[in-house]
Structure 1
Amino acid sequence: MDSQMKMAFEKSKTGDKDERYEAYHTILKVTDQNVDWAYEVWDQLVEDLNHKDNHQRSRAAQYLANLAKSDPEMRIMKDFPKLWEVTKDKKFVTARHCLQSIWKVAIAGTSQKEMVMNYMVVRFKNGTDEKNFTLIRNDILHNMKNLYEHLHDEDIKETALDLIETVDDKKYKKKYMDIWK
């Protein structure tokens, strides 16, 4: 990792608000592509999933999701449950930021896609007792749409449409179908 990226990770934690924001965007932009330094920050990011600061948890989750494509050792398969826990964070905004980026793990490979899809399907079906479950379902369906657009996998679309069919509330069923138009 070059010194500029090291500085971005440092500033994303310790800089002032503007520096943190700029560093955050720099890291997400760079990690949108495959990088060869993922393991230099991996363990720290996994540790930061439990950081006392919800902003740190959110950033760590989003960075890890982006870095999954740069993970030839497939560490994400072991660390994913820790990442998924952040999608249930006590701070709902943190949970949503993590959940909205979780689809990026699935583009790393077939095993990762199957794992992420399984987690999302289970949450969609069994999460109705969660606060804001309709927003969570919305995010899950957007994740599936993003995956579908990235991978062009008809099974993903079929799964999403099958899940929407299980929704009884007509208002939300229509809202969810609009995602797939």
Structure 2
Amino acid sequence: MDRQTQKMIGNLGSEDKDVKYQAFLYVQAATNKPVDWAYEIWERLKNDLTHSDNHRRAIAGQLLCNLAKSDHEGRIFLDFPDLLELTKDKRFVTARHTLQALWKIGLAGERQKEMLLNGLTERFDDCKNEKNCTLIRFDIIESLRKLYDQDKDETIRQKALTLIETEANFKYRRKYAFVWKK
């Protein structure tokens, strides 16, 4: 890992929100492709999933999703339940940032994609009594679309359409379906 990346990873814990945000953008961009230093920060990010600072939780969730493509040891299989739990965070913005990044795990391999599809299906079903259910469901459908656009696996599209059909409210069913008409 080069010095600049080390510095930026260190800055992820900064008290200065601007410094922290710039570090996040840098590390996120760096992890958009596989990196050989994923395990140098993995445990730190995993621990940050329960940090008292909701920004640290959101950053950790998003970066772990990005690092899934660099995870040749398969740690994501153990940590996925924690990421899915973060989509229920008391701070909805934190939950939503994590939920919107989960799809990237599906790009890491077939087993990861299957785990992701099962997790998103479960989350789609279990959010029905939550305050922000329609936003959660929209994010799930949109995430499946992003994964499909990258992967072109027909099972992803079928999963999304099946989930859409389970929505009882026609207005929301139509809104979710629109994501797939683009």
TM-score, with length taken from structure 2 = 0.97
Q: Which residue pairs with 2:137 in the alignment?
A: 137
Q: Structure 2 CA distance, aligned partners of 1:117 and 1:18?
A: 35
Structure 2: gaps spanning 5 or more residues: none
CA RMSD of aligned residues (A): 0.9
Q: Structure 2 CA distance, aligned partners of 1:51 and 1:3?
A: 26
Instruction: Quote how far apart the aligned CAs of 1:119 are.
Output: 0.7
Q: Which residue pairs with 1:180 in the alignment?
A: 180
Q: Which residue pairs with 1:120 in the alignment?
A: 120
Whether 2:46 is the aligned partner of 1:46: answer yes
Determine helix, strand or coil for the equivalent of 1:27. helix
TM-score, with length taken from structure 1 = 0.97
Structure 1: gaps spanning 5 or more residues: none
Aligned residue type for 1:172: Y
Q: Structure 2 CA distance, aligned partners of 1:164 and 1:20?
A: 37
Determine helix, strand or coil for the equivalent of 1:148. helix
Alignment of 1:1-181 (within 5 A): 1-14=1-14, 16-181=16-181
For residues 8-46 of structure 1, what are the alpha-carbon distances to aligned partners after superposition, in whole Å with 9 as ceiling and x for unaligned?
011122152222221111111000000000000001110
Deviation >4 Å, runs of 4+: none
Q: Structure 2 CA distance, aligned partners of 1:131 and 1:107?
A: 30
For residues 137-161 of structure 1, what are the alpha-carbon distances to aligned partners after superposition, in whole Å with 9 as ceiling and x for unaligned?
0000011001100100011001101
